[in-house]
Amino acid sequence: MSIVLLVALISQLGPIPLTGPAVPGTQAERRIDLEFTDAVESFVRIARPRAEPPEPYRSLLADLSLSCYRCRDDASRKLLRAARGDLRWLMWGRHNRDPEVRLRSNNLLRDLTRCDQCGGTGVCLIYHSDDPGRDGPCRNCGHWGWEHPECRAACFACGGFGSGWSKGAFD
């Protein structure tokens, strides 16, 4: 019982900044933070089945299921701005019964956790040489400088996902 209360308290503490330059660490560390946050929020949803996200997240997530495309798109943009500092409510949207809400919440998570190294493409875009004065193989993908523009090797930082969030909308 005390574990349930502790996890419920932790989930209500406030936003956990997981994106942007304010968060130190690698893309893998950010992914671990996201996985942990998702596990905590899943536990809270199971332990408290009647719990709901607070406003404005609750109404924005509900607006993602409206029949009007423009209304859904507007809600997505508003949710993108609102969730920049607190991604956990998008994880609640991923478990909604409406597939549109699930898909849009998942896409917003991927947009907000885009890889800094590859810009979300999932391929190695930046040539990293061991010796900046000499040409050599890239530390990330092993391609030489002249063949790097055509490189399609997976980004070393995000593992080819293009984002810190690697789950699909229906995982």
Strand, coil or helix: 31: helix
Query: Domain-by-domain residue ranges, the chain?
Result: 27-113, 115-165
Give just the sign of the alpha carbon dihedral 108, 93, 170, 13.
Answer: positive
Residue 167's nearest CA partner among 35, 45, 3, 65 is: 35
**DSSP 8-class letter at 84:** T
pLDDT of residue 123: 76
pLDDT tens across 7-53, in order? 554 555 444 444 443 344 667 777 888 889 889 999 999 999 999 99
54 exposed, middle or buried (CB, 10 Å; 0-12, 13-18, 19+)? exposed
pLDDT tens across 107-162, in order? 999 888 888 777 777 777 776 666 766 677 776 666 776 666 667 777 777 777 77
pLDDT of residue 64: 94
Output the pTM of the full model.
Answer: 0.70
Residue 31's nearest CA partner among 45, 18, 20, 42 is: 18
